[in-house]
Amino acid sequence: MATKAAHKRLTREYANLAQNPPDYITAHPAESNILEWHYILTGPPATPYHNGQYWGTLIFPPDYPFAPPAIRMHTPSGRFRCSERLCLSISDFHPKSFNPAWEVTTILLGVLSFMTSEEMTTGSVSASEAQRKALAVGTRWWNSTGGGTTSRTLGEGQKEQSSNTRGFGAIKGGDGGVRFKEQWPEIDEENWKWMEQCKVDPQTGRSVAPVVRQRNSEPEASAVRKRVDGSGAALGAVVDGGQARDVGQGWVRRHWGKLALAAVFVYVLTARVLSDVQR
């Protein structure tokens, strides 16, 4: 339970953040507990996380601001382990280095800055830029379906579900997206509209739209990706515009034209050499 000083401080900080929201950051305390904050970081341009929707929590101690919060990110990003406490200078891993003058906005700006760097710490992971981009495309699907564990289908309204992962830091895939919807109902509805528009299967995260093949061009698919889990990275080249080149083709198939030209060149060269020899 928050002290009076912590409650007053967090209430003031929420009002300030609501009036002057920083770029790429939104956050609010849970209605039932002012010590439990939920945030969404939107991936900035020129990063592998561009337009990704990264949901996490800040769990503040009762004596905040004299001690720092526990920081977690629940959405797969290729940067952090899902729902694992992050070891940052602004987190509860380093209470002695925390400055009471730092506010929620300062903390979240620090998380965003660390995310877009390559520095490693407890709770961080390594991934390629392509893997992080692929995960960014699937963030809205993951948040609103609990990683594909929802029973809702496209064209169907939200079913009543109960969360089996309540409590501090207990948010993770497997609850059908209930916890995300509880905290972000408007954003959740936008995510479902996006899935409807892009024909994304709620259970798999894959596109269910028909594949359109064009003559004399490589096959293209709408939202090519594999299902995302909390630790693995999605495979396939995915772009936010809704189309991506199929990287699963064989090398020979993708370069058959060059191989044919090479074969013709070798044939002509061989014929000339044989002709010279006969002379």
List residues with catalytic annotation. Answer: 87
**Which helix (DSSP H) or strand (DSSP E) does residue 222 occupy?**
strand 220-222
> Which pair of tokens denotes residue 234?
């999605």
Q: Give the Cα separation of 99 and 89 in Å (integer).
A: 10
Cα(207)–Cα(157) distance, rounded to whole angstroms?
19
Compute how many other C-beta atoms are within 10 angstroms of the C-beta atom of residue 42: 16
Residue 240's CB is within 10 A of a number of other CB atoms, namely 14
Q: In whole angstroms, what separates CA 122 from the centre of its chain?
A: 19
Which DSSP helix (H) or strand (E) runs through 39?
A: strand 33-42
The candidate with the shortest Cα–Cα distance to 56, out of 43, 42, 40, is: 40
CB 136 within 8 A of CB 51: yes
The pair of structure tokens assigned to 196 is 């409807």
Burial track 61-73 (b if 16+ CB lie within 10 A, e otherwise): beebbeebbbbbb
Distance, in Å, from the CA atom of 275 to the CA atom of 260, rounded to the nearest integer, reads: 23
